Structure 1
Amino acid sequence: MIDEVIKEINRADTILVAGHIMPDGDDVSSICSLVMGLEKYGKKVIGAIDDEIPGYLEELPILKEKIRDFDCVKNTPADLIIIVDASSPDRVGRIQELFEYKRIVVIDHHATNLNFGHVNWVDATSASTAQLVFKLNQKLGVKYDEELATINLLGVATDTGFFKYSNTNAQVFEDVSKLVSFGGNISYITNAILENKPIENVLLFKDVIENLKFKKDKKIAYTYVSLDMLKKYNILPKNTPPFVGDLRSLKGVEVAIVFNEHEKNVFHTSMRSKKYFDVSEVALHFGGGGHVRAAGFSKESDNIEKLMEEVTDYIAEKMEK
């Protein structure tokens, strides 16, 4: 499919590269890396997300330089829209409004992808979409410098949990080795993301732990973050820390869930599993998507306790089978 993607790129004069709402490291890395690569390839290109870039990624200023919001790009002409790291059209927010008269290419690594483009390059064996972008840039003959190598490396590092998740395979290390040889600075990424924690996040975590509950002989750990809790520590919803990894790290826990209130009575739910449970199936059931070990969904509810029980009961039932 990579050859089909390149044909679409070569036919286009102007290109919009867009990612998903609630962006993560792989999403912003893939957008930015592809925008920079296509610029080097000689194309007119702009990147966009119909959402804010998370605060923990603001230490990387190149992201804001290359990625605009929807209002900045909605009237920008484009012959081709390339969607990266998004498994369904609703995941791109208002960008979907631009689909009707455009050619759409999808580049993704989620097994739950709905193949909603005219050309769909979906490789669920890839640990990150950033690696697919790396492969595409290389095939286009894009010359990597330190800046491009570092921003491309960001997606690989974050989507593998800095090389500790089960998706960390030999291909990951081959790609990382090449990116580092091109000047990719893993230390810069690590310091910006892992060694830059605001004290407010630690104080919030204390309250998150107070809300912590368990189910199924402590195989399921779950908690929530409310808007009131965020307001208490003057934290914006977009900067809500990813506490789900902390829950998964607990001994005996197989599935960790954090229900994050992003807007009034709207919860973005993050799920992670450790060894065997497929959280992507749960996400699909509740209208979301993702990977076997990392998935999520959004749901409206004016009763967080009821929502948590509904989701965790569903997971507990699945564990029985």
Structure 2
Amino acid sequence: MSSAETTVAESNTTDEVVAELRRRSSFVFVSHVKPDGDTLGAGLALGLALKQLGKRVAYFQQDPVPRNLRFLPDSEDVTRDVAADLPADTLWVFCDMSDFTRAGEYLPAIPREHMLDIDHHLGNSHFGAFNYVLPTEASTGTCVLRLLHALGVTITPEIATCILTTIMTDTGAFMHTNTTPAVLRMSAEMIELGADKPLITDQIFANKRFAATKLLGMALERAVLDDDGRFCWTYVDEAMLREANADGEDTEEIVQHLRAVDGVECAALFKDYEGAVRVSLRSRGRINVQAAAAMLGGGGHFMASGLTYPERDLRKAVDGVHAALRAQGL
């Protein structure tokens, strides 16, 4: 067993998970709400691989596939509908979520014995009968890559593109500190196997709608520096979305601009629309935003986390998150 697999005692080994994948005939891959390239790319990669082994594969996702991820192979098959004729041994594979509730309210009731949890988040609840949780991995997709190698399947250009998408998403196009030599070697392997890096770069990082650019300008105009310049935050609300003709997908890069401000140690974007205040947190490395988010019912990673504030009150959310960050040493 590798050191990554011994990090969390409750996790199954690669061999145990691979044996279960071989034993089952049918799979449904589950993405979390507000899907990103890691949750979707990881599920699509493993689904494409299991099809090689003659398995039945479906994909469940409550929300539509985001515009910038529709290039991914098999993404056209992602739906919130569940087939009525699923075999009794169907395994539901949850990718990139610390608890199955992150899949949303449309997820049907599933017995725990039919759940596999694949993740790299700190604080994962190990909700499945089978749990493959490797917190030292850069993405859920790199966890999946371990399974692909152990399964002995052919990593096609389509699978390689899905895996590289997960890596580039969760490393911020190789800018974050989780970009280790091992991650770069895995990325090179995927490119050698046919992953379309230019397509990933264009679709996810270099192809923004004009509405998103307008919304970014509005959010930056409202940005606030607190704590002697260590904390930068702003918000997006429904009025701003209407004015920019934007939607929730257009908010994705805003928090990164806040984090990039000179002297800022922690950044927050408050998204006050769709009936809730959701918060995206980013850290430069000193402040543990995962611990801060956990204090308010959220989670994620040391340097990138999120939460939904318990009340829909923007002022209370700003104050509550600020207090949680200060408790972590801001």
Report the TM-score range of the alignment, normalised by the length of the smaller protein.
Answer: over 0.9
Alpha-carbon distance in structure 1 between the residues aligned to 2:308 and 2:97: 15
* Closer/same/farther in 2, CA of residues 61 and 24 from structure 1, 3 Å limit: closer
Q: Note if contact 1:81-1:103 (Cα within 8 Å) is conserved in structure 2.
A: yes
Q: Note if contact 2:62-2:107 (Cα within 8 Å) is conserved in structure 1.
A: no
Q: Deviations over 1:7-51 (max 9, x none)?
A: 221221111111211211111110111111111121101111122
Q: Note if contact 1:15-1:82 (Cα within 8 Å) is conserved in structure 2.
A: yes
Instruction: Name the structure 1 match of 2:84.
Output: 75
Residue of 251, 255, 270 corresponding to 1:244: 255
Instruction: Name the structure 2 match of 1:282.
Output: 292
2:110 maps to 1:99: yes
Q: Note if contact 2:291-2:328 (Cα within 8 Å) is conserved in structure 1.
A: no
Alpha-carbon distance in structure 1 between the residues aligned to 2:208 and 2:174: 20
2:50 maps to 1:38: yes
* Closer/same/farther in 2, CA of residues 118 and 9 from structure 1, 3 Å limit: same
Alpha-carbon distance in structure 1 between the residues aligned to 2:326 and 2:34: 27
Deviation of 1:236 after TM superposition, in Å, equals 2.2
Q: How many residues align?
A: 316
* Closer/same/farther in 2, CA of residues 102 and 45 from structure 1, 3 Å limit: farther
Alpha-carbon distance in structure 2 between the residues aligned to 1:32 and 1:122: 18
Residue of 20, 27, 32 corresponding to 1:15: 27
Q: Note if contact 1:227-1:237 (Cα within 8 Å) is conserved in structure 2.
A: no
Amino acid at match of 2:283: S
2:328 maps to 1:315: no
Deviation of 1:230 after TM superposition, in Å, equals 0.7
Q: Deviations over 1:191-210 (max 9, x none)?
A: 11122111111111121012
Alpha-carbon distance in structure 1 between the residues aligned to 2:41 and 2:318: 32
The root-mean-square deviation of aligned C-alpha atoms, in Å, is 1.7
Alpha-carbon distance in structure 2 between the residues aligned to 1:278 and 1:157: 22
Amino acid at match of 1:298: T
Q: Note if contact 1:35-1:66 (Cα within 8 Å) is conserved in structure 2.
A: no
Counterparts of 1:170-189 in structure 2, within 5 Å, are: 170-189=181-200
Say which SS state the counterpart of residue 127 (structure 2) adopts: coil
Using the TM superposition, name which of 222-231 and 92-101 deviates more.
92-101
Deviation of 1:61 after TM superposition, in Å, equals 5.1
2:169 maps to 1:158: yes
Instruction: Name the structure 2 match of 1:224.
Output: 235
Say which SS state the counterpart of residue 97 (structure 1) adopts: coil
Deviation of 1:52 after TM superposition, in Å, equals 2.5
Instruction: Name the structure 1 match of 2:222.
Output: 211
2:57 maps to 1:57: no
Q: Note if contact 2:288-2:328 (Cα within 8 Å) is conserved in structure 1.
A: no
Moved over 4 A (4+): none
Over the matched positions of the two proteins, sequence identity in percent amounts to 30
Amino acid at match of 2:109: L
Q: Deviations over 1:147-178 (max 9, x none)?
A: 22112210011101111101111220121111
2:119 maps to 1:114: no
Residue of 294, 306, 312 corresponding to 2:316: 306
Alpha-carbon distance in structure 2 between the residues aligned to 1:87 and 1:302: 23
Say which SS state the counterpart of residue 208 (structure 2) adopts: coil
Q: Note if contact 1:37-1:142 (Cα within 8 Å) is conserved in structure 2.
A: yes
Deviation of 1:234 after TM superposition, in Å, equals 1.6
Amino acid at match of 2:183: V
2:29 maps to 1:29: no
Instruction: Name the structure 2 match of 1:201.
Output: 212
Instruction: Name the structure 2 match of 1:233.
Output: 244
Q: Which structure 2 residue ranges, 5 or more long, are not aligned?
A: 1-12
Instruction: Name the structure 2 match of 1:48.
Output: 60
Instruction: Name the structure 1 match of 2:302.
Output: 292
Alpha-carbon distance in structure 2 between the residues aligned to 1:210 and 1:86: 33
Say which SS state the counterpart of residue 73 (structure 1) adopts: coil
Q: Which structure 1 residue ranges, 5 or more long, are not aligned?
A: none
